[in-house]
Amino acid sequence: MRRVFVGIFVFMVTGGLVFASAVGLDPFLLDGGKAGFDSLDVQFVGNWPFGPHSCACAVDTVRDYVFMGSSGGVCILDVSTPSDPVFVGEVHTRGWVEGIFYSYADSILYVADRMGGLEIWDVGDVRAVAKLGSHYTPGNAYDVFVAGDYAYVVDGDLHIVDVSDPSSPAEVGSYDVPGSAVSVFAVGNYAYIADGDSGLVIVDVGTPSSPFEAGRYDSFGSAYDVFVVGDYAYVANGILHIIDVSDPSSPTEVGYDTLGTPFYTVYVVGSYAYGAGGDAGLVIVDVSDPSSPVVEGGYLEYGIDVCVGNGYAYMVGRYDALEIEGRLFIIDVSNPALPTKDGEYKVLTSFVYDVFVDGNYAYVADGEEGLRVLDVSDPSFPVEVGFYDTLYSPSYCVCAWVSGDYAYVAWGSLGLFVVDVSDPFSPVKVGSCDIPGGVGGLFVVGSYVYNVSSDSGLVIVDVSTPSSPVVVGSCDTPGSAQSVFVAGDYAYIADGDSGLVIVDVSDPSSPVGVGSYDTPGYARSVYVDGDYAYIADGDSGLVIVDVSTPSSPTDVASYSTPEYAYDVYVVEDYAYVATGDSGLCMIDVSVPSSPERVGYYTTPYEANCVYGIGSYVYVGTEFWGFHIYKNLLLGIETEPLREVGTPVRAMIGVGYARFMFSGNEIMYMSIYDVLGRRVHYERVSGDEMIFRPASSGVYFWCARSKDGEEYKGKVMVLK
């Protein structure tokens, strides 16, 4: 990785003198909110983003690959043998995969990634995919279509992005769609947009920098998808409509499915339109006579999207509307009147309830799916290498802890499982133990596993013989035990409505409650560091309690997190809190009585568990798998600014900051407030820039040169 200088400057004005210190950091993203993600002293590193929703697909009929969206990723399947599709590669995107466009010419995959905007991936070697570039759109990107040098992206509006250099996409034009654009198809000088509010909108993109509306057809109301062939636009708005667009300024409907067969996405090949119709599954319509489309056949599985090639329809969907597991159905449509299923593939799904990291492997408790083992030796691209599933349902794998060669797994109502992970590629169960009331959380110390559940409180299991774990002691709690942390002779239990409960476990066969503290919220998780217990307390955020006297814990401080606090993990002076929809919240607890948020990162979906090692933070989400971030405030060393050689220097006065540039090169200067919002942007061609903020405070700056070098830092301006 190219290293650039990041200066953090702290200025003090005393008697007219300005003192500055600087530290070198790795590069980090500081464009808070720009893509639906926020970053402040936290850097996104990598993810394993697969979840229980598949929503888009594309096919490479030359190489026999299907690209299938699965939450925040794309599964690449070899379908050369339709009856036996094989997983061959994966793409990890930042947001939710809504639309996919595949370019045959250069084996590039363009992904409309909701809050992640447009992502561009090289899939020439499906076993070694590479991200080429990305472009963030103001709204959630729902669909993308590429024609020539341009990608047409819709996020409610239309954005035209120059992708002639995929590594450096640049927006050249946009059009404010009257309603809410959800799908796009581009041919020649026109982009055809399915508008969720206004039907079909046709935009002239002959001059990409100045697109304008050429025509519109809105007699049927909302539209969900559009496909254009020749003079006709095929529009799905719940049923199939066929619009004559030979004169884009005056589109006219020539036919529609009078039977009203459900049609939500559309793909046209030859004389047939193929649609995914939800409960109606795959619907095939003969459109050889556009004025009189006729339903020819169908295949009844719940369908979300469809693409067609080599005589097969590849439909992503589920078994029914209520099921959340995504499936690819491979349907032989050589006889459109009688399509038949040749093959099926269940996509990767993930409900991350807990994560534990040991060496190069992350162990993920993945709900109904089981225990996953991910290789995180390359944090930028975690890969699943092993998996263990009880095959029992509806019990959930909700918590995991690894010690030596064994993973101790809380499997809900099934109790405690002991899984041999000495070979991470082939986890094997070696023992189990029924736990009264099941297991919801656990902690391992030596040869004991401390289990908690909402029904039975604390249960202690001796695992000195892993194949024969034995319950040796228990202690009920007054509330609903959610998690446990053991330090010294005490177990600290997050006990739901009862707050923090402290149990003496010096004799594992006879644990005894010795103290408690009723937190204001619902205690979900607890981490103990020294004399302090850090509690993820639901709606009350992070609560810090002094436990130096276990029999009399006392309140120290609290921090109100942006959303519900589910889990907490402490590394050195930082508490990492998983806060649901607000993602990761990083709180400085170096002074426990004065916790202060110093970083955050909005995960693509609800963050519910967190784990930290060194400067890395591992976050699990409900529907978006597993994400890795880096705390940029850990492990930094102070070095004099004059030794760094940065071309950007700063000085402050009362009410302003002066930035000075050397080298006579153009700089693009962005300044952000502490919430990550950009408050100033300027193209600097001279040797200095003056920034006059509206109020006192800390501001972060990022200077980018024309050749892509970046320099970043922080200033405090006083008024």
Instruction: Dump the DSSP string for 266-277.
Output: EEEETTEEEEE-
Burial call 446-464: b when 16+ CB within 10 Å, e when fewer: eebbbbbbbebbbbbbbbe
Instruction: Dump the DSSP string for 446-458.
Output: TTEEEEEETTTEE
pLDDT for the residue numbered 532 = 97
Amino acid at the residue 704: R
Residue whose structure tokens are 């639901």: 538
pLDDT for the residue numbered 636 = 44
Residues 6+ apart with CB under 8 A from 128: none
Report the alpha-carbon distance of residue 547 to residue 528 in Å, rounded.
Answer: 9
394 to each of 52, 367, 368, 576, how far by Cα in Å? Answer: 16, 9, 7, 31
Tokens of 686: 């001279």
Sign, Cα dihedral of 432, 489, 421, 423: negative
The residues facing 502 across adjacent strands are: 492, 515
Closest CA to 566 of 527, 597, 604: 527
Report, as ranges of residue numbers, the positions in the chain whose pLDDT lies below 50.
1-34, 636-645
pLDDT tens-digit series, residues 654-684: 778 888 887 767 788 888 877 667 788 888 8
Report the alpha-carbon distance of residue 629 to residue 651 in Å, rounded.
Answer: 32
Sign, Cα dihedral of 139, 315, 394, 441: negative
The residues facing 591 across adjacent strands are: none
285 to each of 273, 306, 333, 429, 636, how far by Cα in Å? Answer: 5, 14, 12, 51, 63
Closest CA to 110 of 298, 98, 519: 98
Tokens of 337: 């009147």
Report the alpha-carbon distance of residue 509 to residue 388 in Å, rounded.
Answer: 31
pLDDT for the residue numbered 686 = 80
Q: Compute, in degrees rounded to 10, the torsion defined by CA atoms 51, 56, 62, 64.
A: 40
Report the alpha-carbon distance of residue 129 to residue 126 in Å, rounded.
Answer: 5
Tokens of 207: 């001059």
pTM (2 d.p.): 0.81
Q: Given its phi and psi angles, is residue 153 left (phi above 0), alpha (psi -120 to 50 degrees) or beta? A: beta
- Is beta strand 710-717 parallel, antiparallel or unpaired with respect to 6-8? parallel
Amino acid at the residue 360: N
Report the alpha-carbon distance of residue 532 to residue 549 in Å, rounded.
Answer: 10
pLDDT for the residue numbered 61 = 94
The residues facing 388 across adjacent strands are: 371
Q: Give the per-residue SS3 of 25-66.
A: CCCCCCCCCCCCCCEECEEEEEEECCCCCCCCEEEECCCCEE
68 to each of 59, 169, 593, 668, how far by Cα in Å? Answer: 9, 23, 49, 38
Going along the chain from its start, the domains and CATH numbers come out as 6-25+639-717 (2.60.40.3080), 51-346 (2.130.10.10), 354-631 (2.130.10.10)
Question: Does residue 45 contact residue 379 with C-beta atoms inside 8 Å?
Answer: yes
CA of residue 69 relative to chain centroid, distance? 13
